[in-house]
Amino acid sequence: DAKTTQPNSMESNEEEPVHLPCNHSTISGTDYIHWYRQLPSQGPEYVIHGLTSNVNNRMASLAIAEDRKSSTLILHRATLRDAAVYYCGGDSNYQLIWGAGTKLIIKP
Amino acid sequence: DVKVTQSSRYLVKRTGEKVFLECVQDMDHENMFWYRQDPGLGLRLIYFSYDVKMKEKGDIPEGYSVSREKKERFSLILESASTNQTSMYLCASSLRGASGIQYFGAGTRLSVL
């Protein structure tokens, strides 16, 4: 079975970079890697996705390992508003295989 | 802005009741999804639909059914609600498969007593 694993929680200081890891042990060569985040009392929202090379957008950067078995979401300068649960997933046959999520705690 | 609207934020039902959760999207997306979210388990896919009247089982379809009669609307049905179906239910839509960005509703927190 496809499997995506993430740490349960991470802490970071405000205005410092944050690196959130994800393992995609069974991802195939054509599956995109996605990251979403969920703020309290809201549905998840898209952050970033990529296939093989690193990706950047206004919210974050995505670093994908050469073997694609792991990825890292990078928040370059965390703010209190970035406190959320971050989900990674690999897509497979219409489905996203989601991890259980990492709760990111930002300390002022 | 893409909008995915779930009909209720909170719902309380009794064991054995038939429950309908409704989801509407306004972006003409082909694909729609129903997830269940429980603490420590993340998002688990119940059913998805890639076209009108088409549906596919996800990871945990038991006890649920779905209906998609119109492109913009995807309904989740609990034929006979049970207490272990107490959960947060999230609907999402996307333009193309799972490699397209998924847009989520705010969720429906269902309590079955």
pLDDT at A93: 65
Q: Do B104 and A43 make contact, defined as CB atoms within 8 angstroms?
A: yes
Is residue B98 scored above 60 in pLDDT?
no
Please give the residue of chain A at the shortest CA–CA distance from B9.
A41
pLDDT of residue A94: 65
> Which residues 84-103 on chain B approach chain A with CB closer than 8 angstroms?
90, 92, 97-99, 101-103
Give the mean pLDDT of B83-89.
97
What mean pLDDT do residues A2-7 have? 84
Helix (H) or strand (E) holding B69: strand B65-70
Closest residue in B to A101 (Cα–Cα): B42
Maximum C-alpha span of chain A: 41
The answer on pLDDT for B56 being more than 60 is yes
Out of A36, A96, A100, the one facing B40 most closely (by C-beta) is: A100
Q: Which two tokens stand for residue A69?
A: 């078995």
Which of A43, A96, A100 is closest, CB to CB, to B98? A96
d(CA B112, CA B81): 7
Specify the pLDDT at position A36: 96
pLDDT tens for A14-33 read 999 999 999 988 777 778 89
pLDDT in tens, B28-49: 999 999 999 998 888 999 999 9
Residue with tokens 């069974």: A26
CB B59 within 8 A of CB B40: no
Q: Compare all CA atoms of chain A with the CA of B43 and give the residue at the minimum distance.
A: A98
For residues A16 and A14, give the distance between their C-alpha atoms in angstroms, rounded to a whole number: 6
Q: What is the mean pLDDT of chain B?
A: 93
Per-residue pLDDT, averaged over A78-85, amounts to: 95
- Which of A94, A97, A98 to probe the B interface (max B CBs under 10 A)? A94
- Residue A92 pLDDT greater than 80, yes or no: no
Residue B35: predicted pLDDT: 96
Mean local confidence (pLDDT), A78-101: 87
pLDDT in tens, A27-64: 777 788 999 999 988 999 999 999 888 899 988 999 99
State how far the Cα of B46 lies from the Cα of B32, in Å rounded to an integer. Answer: 11
